[in-house]
Amino acid sequence: MRGVGEYHTPNKYSEANTKVLINNFRTENPNYFDSENLLSPAKMILEIDFYSKDYSPEKFTEFMEKFTTFLKEEGYS
């Protein structure tokens, strides 16, 4: 049993196998059109689940870097 204030340092797996699944998403679209602007803001909120034996936050950083690169390459940003 761990005492109060003790922290378990998770093992880092050199080849952690991470699965990423979209759990849920929703959109928030405006219900009006601004004739002065051709683009109107809209949102898509994603809930993403990460399944891994690696408890480090590196998998989130790596995912976001790859996702951002994908969006740039496909012309979304």
Largest CA distance in the chain: 64
CA atoms of 65 and 72, how far apart (whole Å): 11
Q: What range does the domain containing 63 cover?
A: 19-73
Structure confidence at residue 34 (pLDDT):
66
Domain count, the chain: 1
Looking at the domain assignment, is residue 5 inside a domain? no
Structure confidence at residue 29 (pLDDT):
85
pLDDT tens digit sequence for 27-73: 998 777 666 767 777 899 999 998 887 777 888 888 999 999 999 99
Structure confidence at residue 46 (pLDDT):
92
Structure confidence at residue 1 (pLDDT):
54
Which of residues 62 and 3 earns the better pLDDT score? 62
Looking at the domain assignment, is residue 58 inside a domain? yes
Looking at the domain assignment, is residue 10 inside a domain? no
**Is residue 14's pLDDT more than 90?**
no
